[in-house]
A and B are shown apart, each in its own frame.
Chain A
Amino acid sequence: MKILYLFRLFYRELKTQEKRITLTIVALAWGTFSIVVLLSFGEGLNRQMMKSLHGLGEGICIVYGGQTSKPYKGLGKGRVIRLQEDDVELLKRRISGIGLISPENDRYRNNMTYGRKSLSERVIGVYPPFEDLRGYFPQRNGRFINDLDIKNKKRVVFLGTELKKRLFGEEEAVGKRILINRIPFLVIGVMMEKMQNSMYSGPDVDKAAIPFSTFQTIYGDKYLNRLIYKPKDISQSEIVKNDVYKLLSQKYKFDPTDKQALNFWDMIEEEKIMRNIFLGIEIFMGIIGGLTLVVAGVGVANIMYVSGKRRTKEIGIKMALGAKKRHVLLQFISEALIIAIIGGTAGLLLSFIVVELFKVLPLEGDAADILAHPVMSLKIMLLTAIILGVVGFLAGVFPARRAASSNPVEALRYE
């Protein structure tokens, strides 16, 4: 049957059942709108959370010392295990699965002075790979600490975004000298803005990073606060983690099965958990939206039932002229689908407008950062289209089956 003819039929139905069809289209549009907007906000939330989770670093593992809980080779339990700088070299040399690695030590309440401004801030000492590990990316015309800085124990500093603002305001910082505990340091870079929801000892944007070697000449720490590594291949992270544990257990002589001797903060595992949580949220939202659409679908089915009853005579005539079951089915299903398509398109358009509106809305604050970034992905649109299609089809198919199985003689007699 030709499309135009179907549209004509639909148009005629629209005229005779105007209010009912309009209401159903509105219901479908609203259902579509709810599901798309729900999922878009869910997707936006998901992406923002992931982004800020990655603010701490993508696929990294942070290792801290600990305290043994098992006796081992004549050594009692309760021994404190502390990491040392040469562990970095050892791990890098012996475990091929490690991609990047850096130690990190920090100090609070360092006096930091620029011009007449004096602040009390945090300083960390790190290796160059720290840049990629923890996302300390420089703004243009700046750089992070490099190997030469380490080798020559240079007094150079890389400033966190907020720290730079506190110290310099809008003024250019790179190339200027500041005093840290009265020792002059050259500013070599300023961090790019970043979102971060996981942290230890404060947000990165508030810290100042200096070469580890320089840090040691000032403070002379015997032990590391922590070390950070990233496996070459994230899928091998469990193996690498085990290797690290084993190697360090040999060096520090503790039972490799003693889970308290070292502490791991495994971002890879954390990310996995996050992803599952978000999948759960997404499914939950999808179900809510889907149920709304099903309610609208009942409306479509209702219309098709009424329409089928009103058109009994027409169906009878068509059957007398040779319409097979599938012709009647096709007509009804396609009409239900037309209603679903119109309602769905309207709903999609409306959600698109709302999602776009949120992009230009001047929303600020932490909550807005996380929540107000809806993303209308292809996945969401496809999912909605599929649900709408199924709803439209089901809403059409049951009334259609009833219409198609009517007795032609009785249908012809119907007035």
Chain B
Amino acid sequence: MIKMKKINKIYGTGASKVEALKNIDLEVKENEFVGLIGPSGSGKSTLMNIIGCLDVPSSGEYYFGGESVENFNHNQLAEIRNEKIGFVFQNFNLLPYATAYENVEIPMIFMGVKAKKRKSMALELLDSVGLAARATHKPGELSGGEMQRVALARALANNPSLILADEPTGNLDTKSGDEILAIFENLWKQGHTLVVITHNPNISARAQRIVKLIDGTIENNGK
């Protein structure tokens, strides 16, 4: 699914140069559940961004689904993010002025799904995370756990092969966090590939494999 060879990411130049990632070799297989851990500043988010095609490495090779992403342009990267990757963020990143179902629709809008189909699919997805009754509520009217479930439904909108989550339970209480975790497990069982950055021991405990990053290098690659 994902293959990284000698990935480096360097920010800035000269004295202010920061090597965020150093020679990362990483492989994630189809239907794997990988937990990405490490202290803050270790390069987790940078690695996430590169995996999620939000950012490109300074050097090294990155294959997504067998394809080298290296020479992809802005639009091709956007297409991969749209069709193959579902993002879940710590702070949800929902659009505050749009209702729950409209938020779920967004990736489908960019994919060009017709309005009618979009709406029915969005409602279906919300139903699958138990929020059918909340479809027309705006994020401000939802609890943290509910917002994250909307975000999850949105991440699943175009049926992506990879779900990337960055501290998905970081802003949630234990109960809501467990609900989210349950959904993740469910998705994994359904065959999705999951890469989750987390400090939550409950998640890392259930992950198939733990990758630990320290100072931009992988210290521990395995369980």
Residue of A nearest to B45 (CB): A409
Any chain A CB within 8 A of the CB of B31?
no
Tell me the residues in window 310-327 of chain A with beta carbons closer than 8 Å to chain B beta carbons.
313-314, 316-325, 327
Contacts of B83 in A (CB 8 A): 322
Tell whether, in the assembled complex, residue A319 and residue B78 are in contact, meaning their CB atoms are under 8 Å apart: yes
Any chain B CB within 8 A of the CB of A288?
no
Tell whether, in the assembled complex, residue A409 and residue B87 are in contact, meaning their CB atoms are under 8 Å apart: no
> Contact partner of A318 among B49, B106, B158, CB < 8 A?
B106
Tell whether, in the assembled complex, residue A408 and residue B75 are in contact, meaning their CB atoms are under 8 Å apart: no
Q: Mark interface residues in B29-64 (1 if CB within 8 Å of A CB, else 0).
A: 000000000000000000001001011000000000
Nearest CB of A to B74, in Å: 6
Tell whether, in the assembled complex, residue A1 and residue B93 are in contact, meaning their CB atoms are under 8 Å apart: no
Residue of B nearest to A316 (CB): B93
> Contact partner of B109 among A1, A316, A412, CB < 8 A?
A1
Residue of A nearest to B76 (CB): A324
* Cα–Cα distance between A320 and B86 once the two chains are bound (Å): 9
Please count how many residues in chain A sit with their CB below 8 Å of the partner chain's CB atoms.
23
Any chain A CB within 8 A of the CB of B115?
yes
Residue of A nearest to B75 (CB): A324
Tell whether, in the assembled complex, residue B107 and residue A321 are in contact, meaning their CB atoms are under 8 Å apart: yes
Tell whether, in the assembled complex, residue A322 and residue B74 are in contact, meaning their CB atoms are under 8 Å apart: no
Contacts of A322 in B (CB 8 A): 78-79, 81-83, 107, 110-111, 158
Contacts of A1 in B (CB 8 A): 109
Residue of B nearest to A4 (CB): B115
Contacts of B95 in A (CB 8 A): 314, 317
Any chain A CB within 8 A of the CB of B97?
yes
* Cα–Cα distance between A86 and B83 once the two chains are bound (Å): 93
> Contact partner of A325 among B74, B93, B98, CB < 8 A?
B74
* Cα–Cα distance between A314 and B97 once the two chains are bound (Å): 11
Tell whether, in the assembled complex, residue B82 and residue A321 are in contact, meaning their CB atoms are under 8 Å apart: yes
Contacts of A408 in B (CB 8 A): 54-55
Known: A2-B115, A409-B49. A324 touches B54 (CB 8 A): no
Tell whether, in the assembled complex, residue B78 and residue A324 are in contact, meaning their CB atoms are under 8 Å apart: yes
Tell whether, in the assembled complex, residue A321 and residue B75 are in contact, meaning their CB atoms are under 8 Å apart: no
Tell whether, in the assembled complex, residue B49 and residue A321 are in contact, meaning their CB atoms are under 8 Å apart: no
Known: A2-B115, A321-B82, A324-B110. A412 touches B54 (CB 8 A): yes
Any chain A CB within 8 A of the CB of B154?
yes
Contacts of A313 in B (CB 8 A): 93
> Contact partner of B79 among A5, A314, A324, A412, CB < 8 A?
A324
Nearest CB of B to A307, in Å: 13
Nearest CB of A to B199, in Å: 19
* Cα–Cα distance between A144 and B48 once the two chains are bound (Å): 95
Tell whether, in the assembled complex, residue A12 and residue B115 are in contact, meaning their CB atoms are under 8 Å apart: no
Residue of A nearest to B98 (CB): A8
Residue of B nearest to A13 (CB): B97
Contacts of A321 in B (CB 8 A): 81-82, 87, 106-107, 110, 154
Contacts of B75 in A (CB 8 A): 324-325
Contacts of A9 in B (CB 8 A): 97
Q: Mark interface residues in A218-249 (1 if CB within 8 Å of B CB, else 0).
A: 00000000000000000000000000000000
Apart from A317-B94, A412-B89, what are 11 other A-B pairs with CB-CB below 8 Å? A1-B109, A5-B102, A313-B93, A316-B93, A319-B78, A319-B81, A325-B74, A327-B109, A407-B55, A408-B55, A412-B54
Interface residues of A (CB under 8 A from B): 1-2, 5, 8-9, 12, 313-314, 316-325, 327, 407-409, 412
A-B pairs with beta carbons under 8 Å apart, 21 shown: A1-B109, A2-B109, A2-B115, A313-B93, A317-B93, A319-B78, A319-B81, A320-B54, A320-B93, A321-B81, A321-B87, A321-B107, A321-B110, A322-B78, A322-B81, A322-B82, A324-B75, A325-B78, A327-B109, A407-B55, A408-B54
Interface residues of B (CB under 8 A from A): 49, 52, 54-55, 74-75, 78-79, 81-83, 87, 89, 93-95, 97-98, 102, 106-107, 109-111, 115, 154, 158
